[in-house]
Structure 1
Amino acid sequence: MLLAGLRSPHPYESSTMKRTATPHLAAATALGLAVLAGCGGSGTDGSGSGGAPAAPPATVTLVTHDSFNVSDEVLETFTADTGFEVEILRGGDAGVMVNQAVLTAGNPQGDVLFGVDNTLLSRAVEGEVFQPYRAAGLDLVPEELRPAGDVPVVPVDTGDICVNYDRGWFAEQGVAPPETLDDLTAPEYRDLLVVENPATSSPGLGFLLATVAAYGEDGWQDWWRRLAGNGVEVVDGWEQAYYDHFSGASGGTGGGDRPLVVSYATSPPAEVVYGTGPEPEQAPTGVATGTCFRQIEYAGLLAGAANPEGGKALLDFLLGEDFQADVPLQMFVHPVREGVPLPEVFTAYGVEIADPYTMDPQAITEGRERWVTEWTELVLR
């Protein structure tokens, strides 16, 4: 989950953070999509009513979230190789994008959807958004990153939601930064952590899922009670947490007083990329590696796509070496294809999360709403 602008030391927020639309926005979206659906043809061959089927369009449409980014020269390579021009149709944040895709299932706005992650995947699958296609290059993706069973999507990138810490603050205070979830509830970290609300933020949801995975159904609530008692601060979204409350944000506007924040494992190299001045010996922020939840973003061929052949070619391209090598510095996530080297700034300033918390997408679907409701009762009321 992605560039939101040069201000962002981790731009994933704008695509995947504020996933929950307000009821008014959801209603407006549904109305607009109903109008769009009504304007479409009755078939998927582009021929309208009667007559011979039209020739396949020379354009393939990628439906994605607002912060999808790719280099122009990489897209030009796809066009040169396939003859298809790529039209990028951005559909808001990932949650709204998936809701739109469900509402238009079978009569989609494009050919390929990119940006549904493992917290939302089962919603799209149950909505019959996708049609099957096995992309070329899938065999070069590690088995643990592929969806289980016959889920008709391909993984494209991964990212880890983790607690970040302000190295300077902890050095000045002579306090060791936390490493694990258990550490965060210790007295020495009282009033130091800011997190995002899981009802309104994807990193907030990922962090909640990490605690459910770590402590189980019988233990996560107690952990959050202890964290709430230890002075955790809750805000709506990542930008507010990182820029206004986190003391280690180079682009911060409010001079934040919290040296711990829920962000991403790739935020430290992003701080270096977007920082000013000479290249530092180490990133100004670090990662508590025992707090991380693994996100995986997927793409799929939309059911009823007007240009299925172009869509298949685009899915092959998303797993190809050119696009996969472009992913890290465009969206600050990791490629899924084995053998694709990371940029030096990732290897020099980033950290590999060897054992992140994970959860089956179906388990997320079955528990998500209940966990968020219980979290709200525990932490906010």
Structure 2
Amino acid sequence: MSEKLRRVPSRLVAGAVTAMLVTALVAACGEPAETPPDPAAPAVTVLAYEGWNVPPELRDAFQRQTGFGLEVEHVGADAAGLTEHLTATEGEPTGDVAVGLPGRYAKRALGADVFAPYTSPEANQGQHRFTIDDQQRLSAIDLADVCVNVDKSWFTSRDRTQPKTLADLARPDYAGLMALPDPSRTEVGFAFLQATIARYGETGWRSYWQRLRGNGAHIVGSFDVAYDDRFSGSSTSGSLPLVVAPASSPAEELKDDGTSPVAVLPDTCFRTVRYAGVLADAEYPERAHRAIDFLLSQQFQTAIAPTYGTYPTRERVSLPDDWRGVAPMRTEPMTLPAADVTTNERRWLREWRQVWR
């Protein structure tokens, strides 16, 4: 799996689960009016990074509601690659909609004028909280929270107290216990870097990283290595009880009794909002509008958590029952303005490398 800002909970992604989710939603809310499919009608093309897909059940629902299909074309390994493709094809887009851009990349794409204005009728259900463009060229699709995750059994079996705050992670009690994806190579690691900047400000984040480095934090090249290989809470081979990972990770580790050996440290959580938009000069702009409407709909937003391991932007959308106890949506995560991140990210990463080298 390529590097992403989210980790998809394998227990909750099975097609049968998604099908039951859609069926239950249709029964509860009533299915939108169906339009007979037109086999000759070209599908709307959604550009995304590798690994982002729409489950077949939701594609079928979209076609029933609109009369045309939905195709996903992967044009980058991650959000950076997707953004590069969008800016390189500005004016001659290879699709109709782009989806999955975190704030910093969304701002970069906006600066290249790759999106057209569109305000969805579904956008008044809370998504406006995350608006970053006065022209309404982007719609907030999902929320990705990154936090320090802890292997509870590791600490319990050793009768040791778990850390609670970012400051605790730099204390000698937790020396050498944390796996941290490289901020310069991974979205998860960069989210943690932003968390430290949000918490300690421009005058304090470098000294905090110096303390982390002195305390033996383990920087690894990919999120998969950090979580799957080094973290003791997800594998028998891992030896480190702390890892920087998505807030949904405890849901992935759910046991049959509904408990999880992994927990999130709420004080460490940082939120990234991800966006979608209609591409300027899209071949089928009206169909692109319908695709954005669908991504913001109650039906699709209910499927976000079990499908992508992230959180919906639409208000009053229920999370899966299993998530409520182990992976609830954080109410006060740390954030930074997307424009500030876009302006400063290269400097932040340069200065981070100077601290860590």
Distance 2:100 2:322 in 1: 24
In the TM superposition, residue 69 of structure 1 has moved relative to its aligned partner by 3.0
Return the letter of the residue paired with 1:297.
Answer: R
- Taking every aligned residue pair, what percent have the same amino acid on both sides? 34
In the TM superposition, residue 148 of structure 1 has moved relative to its aligned partner by 4.7
Which range is displaced more, 69-78 or 314-323?
69-78
Aligned to 2:60: 76
Q: Which stretches of structure 1, 4 residues or more, deviate above 3 A after TM superposition? A: 1-9
The question of 1:139 aligning with 2:124 is answered: yes
The question of 1:229 aligning with 2:229 is answered: no
Question: Judging changes above 3 Å, is the alpha-carbon distance between structure 1 residues 7 and 246 closer, same or farther for their aligned structure 2 residues?
Answer: farther
Which range is displaced more, 290-299 or 117-126?
117-126
Aligned to 2:198: 213
Return the letter of the residue paired with 2:46.
Answer: L
Alignment of 1:197-212 (within 5 A): 197-212=182-197
Flag structure 2 segments of 5+ consecutive residues without an equivalent.
14-39
Cα pair 2:178 2:242 within 8 Å, conserved: yes
Cα pair 2:127 2:139 within 8 Å, conserved: no
In the TM superposition, residue 146 of structure 1 has moved relative to its aligned partner by 2.6
Q: 2:293 is matched with which residue: 316, 320, 324?
A: 316
Aligned to 1:192: 177
Cα pair 2:114 2:279 within 8 Å, conserved: yes
Aligned to 1:93: 78
Alignment of 1:1-381 (within 5 A): 1=5, 6=10, 57-91=41-75, 92-249=77-234, 252=235, 255-272=237-254, 279-379=256-356, 381=357
Distance 1:95 1:289 in 2: 28
Distance 2:161 2:182 in 1: 26
Question: Judging changes above 3 Å, is the alpha-carbon distance between structure 1 residues 3 and 84 closer, same or farther for their aligned structure 2 residues?
Answer: farther
Aligned to 1:16: none
Aligned to 1:19: none
Flag structure 1 segments of 5+ consecutive residues without an equivalent.
10-55, 273-277
In the TM superposition, residue 119 of structure 1 has moved relative to its aligned partner by 2.8
In the TM superposition, residue 120 of structure 1 has moved relative to its aligned partner by 1.5
Aligned to 1:53: none
Secondary structure (helix, strand or coil) at the match of 2:153 reads: helix
In the TM superposition, residue 147 of structure 1 has moved relative to its aligned partner by 2.3
Return the letter of the residue paired with 1:303.
Answer: A
TM-score by length of 2: 0.87
Question: Judging changes above 3 Å, is the alpha-carbon distance between structure 1 residues 8 and 208 closer, same or farther for their aligned structure 2 residues?
Answer: farther
In the TM superposition, residue 288 of structure 1 has moved relative to its aligned partner by 0.8
Cα pair 1:2 1:67 within 8 Å, conserved: no
Cα pair 2:95 2:282 within 8 Å, conserved: yes
In the TM superposition, residue 183 of structure 1 has moved relative to its aligned partner by 1.0
Cα pair 1:194 1:241 within 8 Å, conserved: yes
> CA offsets per residue over residues 305-356 of structure 1, 9 Å max, x none?
0110110000001001111111111101111111211110111321332211
Return the letter of the residue paired with 2:113.
Answer: E
> CA offsets per residue over residues 275-315 of structure 1, 9 Å max, x none?
xxx51342110101111110111100001101101100000
Cα pair 2:250 2:262 within 8 Å, conserved: yes
Secondary structure (helix, strand or coil) at the match of 1:354 reads: coil
> CA offsets per residue over residues 96-145 of structure 1, 9 Å max, x none?
01110110011111000000011322111111110110112111025432
In the TM superposition, residue 85 of structure 1 has moved relative to its aligned partner by 0.6
Return the letter of the residue paired with 1:112.
Answer: V
Count of matched residue positions in the alignment of Structure 1 and Structure 2 = 326
In the TM superposition, residue 5 of structure 1 has moved relative to its aligned partner by 8.8
> CA offsets per residue over residues 140-198 of structure 1, 9 Å max, x none?
02543232533510001112100001011010111221121111111111110111111
Question: Judging changes above 3 Å, is the alpha-carbon distance between structure 1 residues 2 and 357 closer, same or farther for their aligned structure 2 residues?
Answer: closer
> CA offsets per residue over residues 219-273 of structure 1, 9 Å max, x none?
0001001111111110111001001111111xx3x7111100000110001222x
Which range is displaced more, 63-72 or 123-132?
63-72
